[in-house]
Structure 1
Amino acid sequence: MAQVTRERVPLFFMELLEIDKKVTKCIVEKGNNLLVFRSMRLQYRALEVSCHGIPWLAFWIAFTWLFNDSSLIQLQVNMLLGLLLDIIVVAVCKAYFRRRRPSTNQDDALGQMGPDVFSFPSGHCSRAVLVLFFFTRLWPVPMIFVPPMLAWVFSICASRILMQRHYLLDIVGGILLGLLEGGVMDFLWLSEDSAKYVMSYLSDEKIDGGDYHV
């Protein structure tokens, strides 16, 4: 019987991952040398929760059901689809690449189960970038809100490294994935009538203004 041999990771990728580990370690060490970063564990945890998939999905479902306003339905449905897309794509990517988190990571991250025990790509970063893309391109908010969102996205990405949840390459992968997901949502964007139809189907109620409404 022929023996089944495991597929070996190409040498180029092995070297790239080793460089990634060294660069990430250097960033963490320099960050920890600064008291302002070393004492911000609580703030990092708050940022972690603020961009976790479960709270975001729960909040958005609650927001969708509690604020039953026809003018918000297109926003609500498209963002809900975007969040579901991000969660599914990140889970599939992590299950496929199966890169372990840094050995110095403390297993106290919210929801570290299933594919989320793996590191690449960063779901927090992809989600943060997707939200930024959504509210700057797909459903633009007033410019006064853009700088705080940029600061939030940057803080999410930086904290994932300084908390030692991810390597630098995981962060880059998450950012690129978030941009890709934003492009997909731009292509698949549901019109107001389509969003009302989806909401009517999910809630089993007729929404005023839809083509089906009588």
Structure 2
Amino acid sequence: MPGSQARCRARDRNNVLNRPEFLSLNQSSRREQAGGEGRGSSGDSSEGGPGADGGGVKDTSRWPEQDCMQLNPSFKGIAISSLLAIDISLSKRLGVCVGAHGPGAPLRSMVTLLALTGHALLWICGTLICLWRSSTLAGQEVLVNLLLALILDLMTVAGIQKLVKRRGPWDFPPSFLDYIAMDMYSFPAAHASRAVMVSKFLLNHLVLAVPLRILLYLWAFLVGVSRVLLGKQHLSDVGCGFALGFLHFSLVESVWLDSATCQMLISIGAAWS
């Protein structure tokens, strides 16, 4: 007898279905067994037990979701996970200017300066200075709308970043300027959104020669790429930032403030100062 009991215990331990990750496979058999035992005890109590209600015993054995292994994930989940993995892998490979001894270390200073040209504080302060020095109504109208577009872009991107809270591919802590501009997370790329919005705005409201227009498009693209080279953002973050910047430009153009409204806003700002 002791030998047969030891063999039974060894067989139970070697049974692969008793492992935790396969508990969901024999869940139905255990429920059927529990249901059979419940019906048997219900029959006994209905014959002579005072606590019988005649309706049978309810099956209370329920397996929590975290104990059940998902053996058939959906195609959508597999596709999203694969795209995210490719995005992270490519972004890390393109981060050649991350370290001081990387393959792009000689270009790190230039790439950092290029990324700085898309910072929010630079554009907001520059717009305020130009607005203060401007003396024409047309120029003030354009500058006030540009300032509102920059504030809209700053608040929208900061709100989405706070909601998503996605870290960069190298998870660098944000700098002091990033804290001021509320650019603390990776998705979406604030610099890319701002560069596209500003470039579209300037191309639409300034008369520029063809070489300058090409340089403005190239600047917006390189600002987004510079953030990937520095390891601050993923490729998907920059792509979504480009799309968001174009959306902000379209929104500002649709609610364009006329000269009278801009003069009223300027007078209110001057009174507060």
* TM value normalised by structure 1: 0.79
Q: Which residue of 2 aligns with 1:75?
A: 142
2:168 corresponds to:
101
1:40 partner SS: helix
CA distance in 1, matches of 2:127, 2:114: 18
Equivalence for 1:152: 219
Q: Conserved in 2, the CA contact under 8 Å of 1:49 and 1:110?
A: no
RMSD over equivalenced CA pairs, Å: 2.8
State the structure with more CA Rg.
Answer: 2
- Following superposition, the deviation at residue 104 of structure 1 comes to 5.9
Do structure 1's residue 28 and structure 2's residue 95 form an aligned pair? yes
Q: Under a length normalisation based on structure 2, what TM-score does the superposition of the two structures give? A: 0.63
Aligned pairs for 1:2-17 within 5 A: 11=77, 13-17=80-84
C-alpha contact (below 8 Å) 2:193/2:246 kept by paired residues: yes
User: Match for residue 142 of structure 1?
Assistant: 208
1 CA distance for matches of 2:90 and 2:174?
24
**CA distance in structure 2 between the aligned counterparts of 1:187 and 1:110, rounded to whole angstroms:** 34
Equivalent residues in 2 for 1:100-119 (5 A)? 100-103=167-170, 105=172, 107=173, 109=175, 111-113=177-179, 115-119=182-186
For 1:76 and 1:192, the matched residues in 2 are separated by 11
Could you tell which deviates more after superposition, 65-74 or 44-53? 65-74
Query: Please, which runs of 5 or more residues in structure 1 have no aligned partner?
Result: 206-214
Structure 2 residue matching 1:165: 3-state secondary structure = coil
Q: Provide the residue aligned with 1:210 in structure 2.
A: none
1:187 to 227, 233, 254: 254
31 and 116 in structure 1: CA distance in 2 versus 1, 3 angstrom threshold:
closer
Partners of 2:98 and 2:109 lie apart in 1 by: 15
Q: Which has the higher contact order (CA 8 A, sep 6+)?
A: 1
Q: Report how many residues are paired.
A: 193
User: How far is the alpha carbon of 1:111 from its aligned partner?
Assistant: 1.9
203, 218, 237: which one pairs with 1:170? 237
- Equivalence for 2:131: 64
| Contact 1:28–1:164 (Cα < 8 Å) also in 2 | yes
Q: Is there any run of 5+ residues in structure 2 with no aligned partner, and where?
A: 1-65, 67-75
Aligned to 2:120: 53
Answering whether residue 204 of structure 2 is matched by residue 132 of structure 1, we say no
Identity %: 25
Q: Secondary structure at the match of 2:242?
A: helix
Q: Which amino acid aligns with 1:24?
A: S
State how far apart, in whole Å, the 2-side matches of 1:91 and 1:25 are.
Answer: 24
Q: Aligned-pair distance for 1:47?
A: 1.3
Report the Cα distance in structure 1 between the residues aligned to 2:223 and 2:188, rounded to whole angstroms: 14
User: 1:212 aligns to what?
Assistant: none
Tell me how far apart the structure 2 counterparts of residues 195 and 166 of structure 1 sit (CA, whole Å).
36
Give, in angstroms, the shift of residue 83 of structure 1.
0.3
Query: Deviations for 1:88-132, whole angstroms, at most 9, x for unmatched residues?
Result: 001001001110112264x47452328522100000000000011
Which amino acid is 1:126 matched to? S
**Do 1:123 and 1:174's aligned partners in 2 also have CA atoms closer than 8 Å?**
yes
The answer to whether the 8 A contact 2:97-2:229 is kept is: no
Deviates more, 1:109-118 or 1:52-61: 109-118
